[in-house]
A and B are shown apart, each in its own frame.
Chain A
């Protein structure tokens, strides 16, 4: 099973709302990632968790707050977003031995 599951698939939220994106994998991977992708651009790394600890924050604004409750789950909490934060948010996971990452299908986020 090489599946990374993301929910919801689509999300529309107002600038004053609080919402969360969820990601789950059951491949035993110990590294998990959040990426943001704008149209016609490559995915941009936001956060990396390694063994459930935040190891990389790519200078992401604090209105995005990641959380890793356990080795299979990754959340991204959203608060006071701006319209320019509208994008496809991708979760990925990988082993720790410098191999490829497996991506979920993404959450299409629209901020109104």
Chain B
């Protein structure tokens, strides 16, 4: 119930393509869903986040789509660039007082020039 399932494990796209990363969860107590981008040797950096009462959110080239009834959400990267090559983690926050952050397993994205 505490898991966030993420797919695919790795993804290769050409520059300008639109990689899509999918996540699914079971715990209905999750009420906030951030996405993180991590470069090798660096800490995860917050990209974009969404609450389950919103079906879509865009920030620059990054878009989250959220399907509350299916308990699924996804990240789309528009016009992907080689600099977007990184590991992407979806996450979910358990709506308790401690803000426990549960990570998906990660997707290694490579954007080829």
Contact = CB atoms under 8 A, between A and B. Distances in A.
Do these two chains interact?
Answer: yes
Contact of B99 (A42, A88, A96, A106): A96
Dominant SS among interface residues on chain A: strand
B105 A42 contact: yes
B99 A94 contact: yes
B106 A41 contact: yes
Interface string B95-110: 1011111011110100
A100 B57 CA distance: 15
Interface residues of A, number: 28
Interface stretch (A12-20, A43-51, A67-75, A77-85): A43-51
Contact of B43 (A31, A48, A96, A104): A104
A98 to B, nearest CB: 5
Contacts of A88: 41, 43
B105 A55 contact: no
A40 B105 CA distance: 9
Interface of B: 31-32, 34, 36, 41-46, 49, 89, 91, 93, 95, 97-101, 103-106, 108
Interface of A: 4, 6, 31, 33, 40-43, 45, 48, 50, 55-56, 88, 90, 92, 94, 96, 98-106, 108
